Chains A and B, each alone.
Chain A
Amino acid sequence: DGGITQSPKYLFRKEGQNVTLSCEQNLNHDAMYWYRQDPGQGLRLIYYSQIVNDFQKGDIAEGYSVSREKKESFPLTVTSAQKNPTAFYLCASSIGVAGDNEQFFGPGTRLTVL
């Protein structure tokens, strides 16, 4: 079955540690996205990538980094510079960047920083 996988589902880290969230898709989509979801704030865009080896900052990129070395993979690193990293993180992909292209979402990763 085609889809987007995110791992792990739950992640716990100590304050000050970097952590990497995995996102893999087998939909052959060009574009991939990372969103952060906090209670009462909807989804906010962290980073997006239109094509391999290219990515752009979203609205809340500070304290995060990404890479896009392969079409199917778009890992997100939450660095120690992110002041409030505890949140639910959603990865998404779309076939392209046309306005009507639906975004398909992964199941999400819940990150808790202790």
Chain B
Amino acid sequence: AQTVTQSQPEMSVQEAETVTLSCTYDTSESDYYLFWYKQPPSRQMILVIRQEAYKQQNATENRFSVNFQKAAKSFSLKISDSQLGDAAMYFCAYRFSNTGNQFYFGTGTSLTVIP
């Protein structure tokens, strides 16, 4: 079975500080893609960042970056200079490259940003 584990149901961070959300996954495949999605209170899911498993370089999108450790099957999200608008549920997900149909999602981490 394909599983994604987000071990932190809730996290909080002071505004302007840095926070890291953890994600581990279990798969026997070697070629896949990893994603972090954000779900704010509006419940609209928004893509935050994407990582190709074949790339060693960690993806970065402005204040968002990942720490991808393929051997450890770990894919953490770092948010720098946290803003009030970053408060949301964050979901880690992966998708195989060859079949590519299904996303496998974690259970989410609820991030609170403290002013």
Q: Which A positions have Cβ atoms within 8 angstroms of B? A: 31, 33, 35, 40-45, 48, 50, 56, 58, 88, 90, 92, 96-103, 105, 107-108
Q: List 8 A-B contacts (CB under 8 A).
A: A44-B105, A50-B101, A88-B43, A92-B45, A97-B100, A103-B45, A105-B46, A107-B43
Distance of A76 from chain B, by nearest CB (Å): 16
Distance of B58 from chain A, by nearest CB (Å): 16
CB contacts (< 8 Å) of B44 on chain A: these are 105, 107-108
CB contacts (< 8 Å) of A99 on chain B: these are 31-33, 95-100
Q: Which B residue's beta carbon lies closest to that of A50?
A: B101
Q: Is the CB of A56 within 8 A of B106?
A: no
In the complex the two chains form, what is the Cα distance from A23 to B100 in whole Å? 21
Q: Is the CB of B108 within 8 A of A90?
A: no
Interface membership of B47, Cβ < 8 A: yes
In the complex the two chains form, what is the Cα distance from A97 to B101 in whole Å? 5
In the complex the two chains form, what is the Cα distance from A62 to B101 in whole Å? 19
Contacts A42-B91, A99-B33 aside, 10 further interface pairs with beta carbons under 8 A come to A33-B103, A40-B9, A40-B107, A41-B107, A42-B105, A42-B108, A56-B101, A105-B44, A105-B45, A107-B42
Q: Is the CB of A43 within 8 A of B91?
A: yes
Distance of B99 from chain A, by nearest CB (Å): 8
Interface membership of B15, Cβ < 8 A: no
CB contacts (< 8 Å) of A98 on chain B: these are 97, 100
